[in-house]
Structure 1
Amino acid sequence: MKKQELSTKNRVLTILLTQPGVYFSGDSLAQSLDLSRESIWKAVRSLKADGHQIASRKKAGYAYLRSQQVDALVLNQWLHLLGSDLVENQQPVVQVFEQIGSTQAYAKDMVAKQPLIRPALLVAREQSGGYGRQGRAFYSPKDRGLYVSLALPIPVNTQLSPSLLTTSAAVALVQGLQTFFPAAPFQLKWVNDLILHGHKIGGVITEGVFDFESQQYSAVILGFAINLMPGAFPNGLESKAGTVLADSEADLDLNVILAQLVVNLLKMADTYQNGDYLPVYRKLSLLIGHAITVKVGTDEKTGVVTGISDQGGLIMVEDNTGQPQTLYAGEVTKVKLLENLNL
């Protein structure tokens, strides 16, 4: 009985999603699905209880507006709509978790057990063990943001460019966010932090999965987390972390935003090695022209950032030597005048 009820409401939702905002009469839905009007009404009521916002209008019917949480069916529909120019093997297989330790850890384990044939998109409504670079924890409260890992297969004999991939992915994410929040002054802190109004609102992590038999990387896992709506940050994070929106009741659909970000990343993955994203990365860079401290291994270097190299490295003039050098690994721990970015 439960399976039948779930199937019914998903069938109704699938039709409503073909034209978001457009009304479908109860009669037309009933005829299309060979159901009674009462069954349609019950399905819509159940969908609303699940967090889907569906408008009901007398004599007009029902129209899908938005969903208050990530939903696999809704996300898939938006991926096909926004990614209609992607080839079939670029369309990802989607899996949504109510709660998980870490999508990134799950993705790495999944790929290690079975090679990827096409991209896999793993999304959590909530994470208990989300992490970023250097293993740093990322607070992931339920339905307050996007917590995602995109696993991409790597064709045989394809070389990775980790610094270019991470910087390009950061640009692709910002460009996706700008589609919905065009007035927000997003910035990027090398190499992977998304900054808004002087606070970290998200980050990117790229991890490769190595195949010992072929002696090359078989997949890369692009993980990202973005704080969209306010939530109660743990002690110590309030002054450092931020959110894209100040209003937790804002009318937005996490699914359409996520779909746009993923489509941007899938397109980026095909072209990032040519460096096309670097001009935008440089424009968005928070660090160029600033004095910083960067930790490389156990050493700390201080100096002024002068640019981003053509391979995504950080170019800085070190105080001790007065000579320019390019860093491809490290963690910026302090930006003069922006101490709250010590994350």
Structure 2
Amino acid sequence: MGTDNIRMTETGDVRQQILEVLLKERDAFISGNELSQRTGVSRTAVWKHIKALETAGFRFASSTRVGYRLTEVPDLLFPALVAERVPAGQHIGRKVVWYSEVDSTNRVAADWVQENAPHGTVVTAETQTGGKGRRGRGWFSPAGGLWLSVIFRAPIPVRVAADLTLLTSVAVRRAIVQETGLPVQIKWPNDLLLHGKKICGILAEIRADGETLQHAVIGVGLNSNIPAAAFPHALTDYATSLAAYSDQPISNLQLAGRLFSELEQLFQGLILHGQGFGHVLDEWRAASATLGRRVRVQTPQGLVEGVATDINAGGILYVRQDNGLVVPIHSGDVLF
């Protein structure tokens, strides 16, 4: 990840503690001595942490006599900034680990699983050097996008584990529509499209113990603030970003806050009440970019071609072939 990689974690991190103090007293100057006392480090160490935060995009008014005052925050998912958007009692986003750069948030989240990170922990990064999609494909992940993974820990049956991806696609769409009003559609099984171009992919990696889910890492790669000119030529016909389409910047912080709220609602419904994908099936159908279209689906058993007619509460896609036979598809990649 490189020696200049910056990591921000929960309240035990000194920089996090400094930010929490300055955010709480945002209109006031806080002396270096007071920050030193609150964090338990020297004034010199406080100064070094302030400089590191400036490198990440924070801006401070400072004076040798009166201390520091926070004047500007970056649009990054720093734990202290996310905490302002996570209400009491919510699990998703309660603990956030932010990196300036990682290979893959899903991979790093898997490491945090081994460290017993709690349910709802979010691992996020400004950039990914080895972002991944389904079937091991690469994922273009420059600065400006929303790259994050959510750790899911709950005793749900393995048979409904696939609902996590489907519910996440609904949660992401809800958050985008609420924040931007853009006409986002869902492509089976796990992509979000904007006027036919991909803006988001979702990748869930699960581990089970018998018939019960042990944990899952649910990755979300959302092209939020990537300029149109930044996309490689090979992707310009297939991918876009929210900002490129709307011609205005999107607040990743606000978008993530809405996403965490929607995920909390849907995941809690699944955990506590067994309200899986079937609970939002009609909403998914209404937002579908797949149903009613002629498709080619690459499945483990081979290529299936026909018209996508429906999806059931288990997430199974039905394709009616030209001979009239309706084929249920449990997994695969849809090509229009």
TM-score by length of 1: 0.76
1:146 maps to 146
CA distance, structure 2, for counterparts of residue 83 and residue 51 of structure 1: 25
CA contact (8 A) 1:151 1:220 kept: yes
CA contact (8 A) 1:94 1:122 kept: yes
Deviation at 1:227, TM superposition (A): 0.7
CA contact (8 A) 1:101 1:129 kept: yes
CA contact (8 A) 1:104 1:149 kept: yes
Q: Which amino acid aligns with 2:222?
A: I
Q: Alignment partner for residue 101 of structure 1, among 82, 86, 103?
A: 103
Q: Which amino acid aligns with 2:81?
A: V
CA distance, structure 1, for counterparts of residue 151 and residue 14 of structure 2: 31
CA distance, structure 2, for counterparts of residue 127 and residue 71 of structure 1: 16
Deviation at 1:233, TM superposition (A): 1.9
Q: 1:91–1:124: structure 2 CA closer, same or farther, 3 Å change rule?
A: closer
How many residue pairs get matched? 306
**Partner SS for 2:129:** coil
Q: CA-to-partner distance for each residue in 1:184-223, whole Å, 9 max, x for gaps?
A: 1101110100101221011111121134xx6643101111
CA distance, structure 2, for counterparts of residue 110 and residue 16 of structure 1: 28
CA distance, structure 1, for counterparts of residue 241 and residue 92 of structure 2: 30
Q: 1:191–1:67: structure 2 CA closer, same or farther, 3 Å change rule?
A: same
Matched, 1:224 2:192: no
Matched, 1:73 2:80: yes
Q: 1:160–1:106: structure 2 CA closer, same or farther, 3 Å change rule?
A: farther
CA distance, structure 2, for counterparts of residue 296 and residue 266 of structure 1: 32
CA contact (8 A) 1:228 1:244 kept: yes
Deviation at 1:311, TM superposition (A): 1.7
1:134 maps to 135
TM-score by length of 2: 0.78
Q: Which amino acid aligns with 1:96?
A: W
Q: Which amino acid aligns with 1:256?
A: Q
CA contact (8 A) 1:163 1:328 kept: no
Q: Which amino acid aligns with 1:311?
A: G
Matched, 1:311 2:307: no
Matched, 1:17 2:19: no
Q: Which amino acid aligns with 2:329?
A: L
Q: CA-to-partner distance for each residue in 1:98-146, whole Å, 9 max, x for gaps?
A: 21111112223443x35554332111111111111111111101x2201
Unaligned runs of 5+ in 1: 1-6, 336-343
CA distance, structure 1, for counterparts of residue 128 and residue 35 of structure 2: 40
- Higher mean displacement: 45-54 or 274-283: 45-54
2:165 maps to 166
Q: CA-to-partner distance for each residue in 1:304-340, whole Å, 9 max, x for gaps?
A: 1122212222122122x3022322211102x1xxxxx
Q: Alignment partner for residue 278 of structure 1, among 261, 278, 281?
A: 281
Matched, 1:300 2:306: no
Q: 1:32–1:222: structure 2 CA closer, same or farther, 3 Å change rule?
A: same
Deviation at 1:163, TM superposition (A): 3.6
CA distance, structure 2, for counterparts of residue 216 and residue 201 of structure 1: 32
Q: Which amino acid aligns with 1:140?
A: S
CA distance, structure 2, for counterparts of residue 196 and residue 102 of structure 1: 24
CA distance, structure 2, for counterparts of residue 194 and residue 282 of structure 1: 13
C-alpha RMSD of matched pairs (Å): 3.4
Q: Which amino acid aligns with 2:269?
A: T
Q: 1:292–1:224: structure 2 CA closer, same or farther, 3 Å change rule?
A: same
2:176 maps to 177
**Partner SS for 1:246:** helix
Q: CA-to-partner distance for each residue in 1:131-177, whole Å, 9 max, x for gaps?
A: 11111111101x2201111111122x644414432221101011111
Deviation at 1:24, TM superposition (A): 0.9
Matched, 1:267 2:265: yes
CA distance, structure 2, for counterparts of residue 64 and residue 180 of structure 1: 25
Q: Which amino acid aligns with 1:222?
A: I
Deviation at 1:94, TM superposition (A): 1.7
CA contact (8 A) 2:311 2:318 kept: yes
Q: Which amino acid aligns with 1:135?
A: G
**Partner SS for 1:236:** helix
